Amino acid sequence: MQLPLFVKIVEVGPRDGLQSESTPIDTDTKVEFINKLSDTGLSVIEATSMVKAGRIPQLSDAEEVYQKINKLANVTYPALVPNLQGMERALAVGVDEIALFASASEHFSQDNINCSTAESLQRFEPVIELAQEYAIPIRAYLSCAFGHPSDNTITADKVADLAELLTTMGCIEISLADTYGICTPLQTQRILTSVSERISIDQLAVHFHDTRGQALANILASLETGVSVIDASVAGLGGCPYAKSASGNVATEDVVYMLNGMNIETGIDLNALIDAGNFICNKLGRDNQSKVGRLGVKP
Ligand code: MG
């Protein structure tokens, strides 16, 4: 099996990670955290979310964070945009890429954003139109793409339909998320294979949660099917604030360690990444969820 030579890591710690951490982090600390991540060689750092003020208190300073971070020319800083108001806020601070959020599970969509998947896609239309007017690239998350604990209607075909629809609508990258961390490697490959029959594998990213310890195995399975974009969260920050059991984004340090060992390039300085993870864990007063982060590269 031909593995990719280079993998693009999409660092989601400052947004997906921090949004479900309950210890409040002040703006300057978030800015310092993102600046540290920028210095690791990461090429994509999801910086924040333009959600309605109050919905996610941890991210209520989204604009200020976005304006204050030191934006390197070779790094992209996407912001999650939930609706047209969020898109207008993103434009006002010069966001260079946006991320949209849909779900393959109707259960999850209703619980999380109070509408059906079809309705959520309809809401994207004016957002996408505005983003395209300003030539801002659009990435989309498809949550529960690898299953949901109580929704058995998610088939590989349904995921492929939604991924194809999102690309038709104008999204350049579709991040398939295992929101509950329930998938296993062969199922991962079945879903990715069926989606890649409909859209280019180069447009696919994977977003695994390590809730049941399957994330690295699923990532390896994804690499074997040709996926070369991986979402990860430094220090394993966060999970999902709406899926109570879904703690544990896969830790970026653990992913980079694995890729280094497989001679797959990421352009990331693992020691600098470990430092950034330890920095934010100290500020949060919590243990580092990355095993590599806790041990260092050479324990
Ligand atoms: Mg996540």
Which domains are seen in the chain, by residue range? 8-295 (3.20.20.70)
Rounded to whole angstroms, how far apart are CA atoms 12 and 133? 26
Would residue 240 show up in a list of annotated catalytic residues for this protein? yes
- State pLDDT tens for residues 196-237: 999 999 999 999 999 999 999 999 999 999 999 999 999 999
More confident residue, 168 or 239: 168
Question: In the predicted model, is pLDDT for residue 187 greater than 60?
Answer: yes
* Helices and strands of the chain, counted as H and E runs: 11, 9
Instruction: Note the pLDDT of residue 135.
Output: 98
Find all residues with CB under 8 Å of 96, minimum gap 6, and list them: 71, 76, 77, 78, 136, 137
Over residues 92-99, the mean pLDDT reads 97
Rounded to whole angstroms, how far apart are CA atoms 116 and 135? 28
Question: In the predicted model, is pLDDT for residue 242 greater than 70?
Answer: no
| Cα–ligand 1 centroid distance for 142 (angstroms) | 11
Helix extents (H) in 136-290: 156-169, 185-196, 215-224, 252-261, 270-284
Q: Among the options 144, 171, 183, 240, which is catalytic?
A: 240
Tell me the pLDDT band of 259, cut-offs 50, 70 and 90.
Answer: very high
Tell me the pLDDT band of 72, cut-offs 50, 70 and 90.
Answer: very high
Tell me the pLDDT band of 243, cut-offs 50, 70 and 90.
Answer: low
Q: What pTM value is reported for the model?
A: 0.95
Question: In the predicted model, is pLDDT for residue 65 greater than 70?
Answer: yes
Instruction: Note the pLDDT of residue 112.
Output: 81
Percentage of residues in the chain having pLDDT higher than 90: 82
| Cα–ligand 1 centroid distance for 209 (angstroms) | 6
Question: In the predicted model, is pLDDT for residue 120 greater than 70?
Answer: yes
| Cα–ligand 1 centroid distance for 238 (angstroms) | 7
| Cα–ligand 1 centroid distance for 246 (angstroms) | 9
Over residues 77-82, the mean pLDDT reads 97
Rounded to whole angstroms, how far apart are CA atoms 219 and 185? 8
Over residues 56-83, the mean pLDDT reads 96
